[in-house]
Chains A and B, each alone.
Chain A
Amino acid sequence: MTWDEMFPLLRQGTIETLQMTLWSTLFTALGGVLLGVVLVVTDRDGLLPLAPVNKLVGLVVNVGRAVPFIILLMALIPVTTAMVGTSIGTTAAIPPLTIAAIPFYARLVETSLREVEPGTIAAALALGASRRQIVVKVLLREAWPGIVAGLTVTVIALIGYSAMAGAIGGGGLGDLAKRYGYQRFETGMMLVIVVLLVVLVALVQMLGDHLARRLSHR
């Protein structure tokens, strides 16, 4: 394949990969932070101990983390069809990507939130802060650098997952790599895709590190 043949394919593939990654990152960020907060707040020593909720969310998160993504992808086809009306294409990749990434990110958020000094929370309680104020102004704000760093890791995992989703019908660079690099032995194409992915991951990591560092005042 010549470069002129590869270029439009690569451009389209990159756009699709970015679309899958960005949308699933957005939903994962919202869902992961929410579940992470629920896990910490409803814990036995949390602000609002609710054992049943904590156990249920913990179970859902653990199950989500236990199932390999490639299996989740196929198992979720009915769910995906119900949500977006189709089981192939970039849009169809977003629900399974999000559902796979939320438990992963929720645990990272949970870990960051647990690192907030208990003394800081006690001090805020002593000042008369409500639970909602503590979650927003203390827990999330203090853990923000860690939450951002966790999102960086998650985005990188999502780029990897999106290639898998692409290979079974989601489009993007994973699909290109399978169809051209693997099935047609286009080594050049494969090489370019690998380089593109490495650059993409490196950029995300740099951006994430930079943000986390700027946010941290420790």
Chain B
Amino acid sequence: MIQIEKLRKAYKARGRTVTAVDGVDLTVDAGTVHGVLGRSGAGKSTLLRCVNLLERPDSGRVVVDGRDLLALPGGELRRARQRIGMIHQHFGLLSSRTVAGNVAFPLEVMGVPRAERAARVAELLDLVGLTEHARAHPARISGGQKQRVGIARALAGRPNVLLSDEATSALDPETTASILELLRDLNRRLGLTILLITHEMDVVRRICDAASVMRDGRFTESGPVRDLLLRPGSELARGLFPLPPPDPRPGTTLVDVTFEGDGADRPFVSALARTHDIDVNIVGGSVEEAGGTRIGRLRIELPGDPSANAAPLEFLRSSGLVVEVRS
């Protein structure tokens, strides 16, 4: 649904050139939720704004829903944008208009007749659960409600794609959860493809099917969330599982073991202890629901140096577990 190839975008700021996006390739399949995770300044916002050409990339290709956006003339680009919804961290609502007026705005832009507009606005407000606030002004409603208005407005043009620019970053945790749930629900019910950027690991964990980690304008890893979490050395996994930095004691081997789904139920620790007759010390660990599956990571300590533990490590690997030796 979204294909980005070799995207580059640089800025000149005070005489210096800053490359915000430095050759990014990204494919988002139809009906999936893809998250780009990164710190501020990583270039993810610029990347997102290049998808509907709010920023024009210096080079590369942007294809959304089969249309090569960089090849479109002005008028057609505007029509293409009407089919690409976007929601924003600070909502971007018109303070002078009511909730209903804000949702009507894109319909006016598209030239939808007045009577049809009213019906569509009612439908959209119902979809996001804001019918009773239709006549309120944005200043009178909460942040979560503002983002719901933003979502209703973004869906007015019946888009196939929704771009989310840190949509929950200005919201408290409970409101964040309800907005993410709404996005997940829209993704499932309408088949909406969502590309979101965030600096919150939790957003990726809750709703993303696939994710990319961005740093200094590039993706350091990218793929289905499940695959990334099971990949040794994954930054995403390190961020998701709250284990402290490894601090191995001399004469021991510190191992991170990552397992999926029913692996969580298999007693590999006791099996390891029994079959190799060693004392396994559990240092830490957690199990998370992410990418549509359950994935856990356990940090265990084995007696003896890593070189002395070849057989136990091989045992873990052959049990289908992802093993990372941290010492």
Footprint of B on A, CB under 8 Å? 117, 119-120, 122-130, 133, 137-138, 141-142, 144, 215, 217-218
Contact = CB atoms under 8 A, between A and B. Distances in A.
B108 interface: yes
B278 to A, nearest CB: 58
Contact of B78 (A128, A138, A144): A128
A45 to B, nearest CB: 12
B105 A120 contact: no
Contacts of B139: 217-218
B78 A142 contact: no
Contacts of B91: 119, 123
For the complex, would chain A's binding face be called helix, strand, loop or mixed by DSSP majority?
helix
Interface string B164-194: 0000000000000000000000000000000
Interface in B77-106: 78-82, 84, 86, 88-97, 105-106
Contacts of A125: 54, 81
Contacts, number: 80
Interface string B188-209: 0000000000000000000000
A77 B215 CA distance: 65
Contacts of B52: 126
Contact of A126 (B86, B89, B93, B108): B86
24 contacts: A117-B92, A119-B89, A119-B91, A120-B92, A122-B92, A123-B91, A123-B93, A123-B153, A124-B92, A124-B105, A126-B163, A127-B81, A127-B82, A127-B109, A128-B78, A129-B109, A133-B108, A133-B109, A138-B94, A141-B94, A141-B97, A144-B96, A217-B139, A218-B95
Contacts of A120: 92-95
A215 B97 CA distance: 11
Contacts of A141: 94, 96-97
B78 A126 contact: no
A125 B139 CA distance: 22
A126 B54 contact: yes
Interface residues of B, number: 34
A217 B95 contact: yes
Contacts of A142: 94-96
A120 B92 CA distance: 4
A20 B78 CA distance: 45
B110 interface: yes
A102 to B, nearest CB: 25
A137 B108 contact: yes
Nearest to B109: A129
B56 to A, nearest CB: 12
Interface string B283-307: 0000000000000000000000000
Nearest to A215: B96
Contacts of A122: 49, 54, 88, 92
Nearest to B78: A128
A123 B109 CA distance: 12
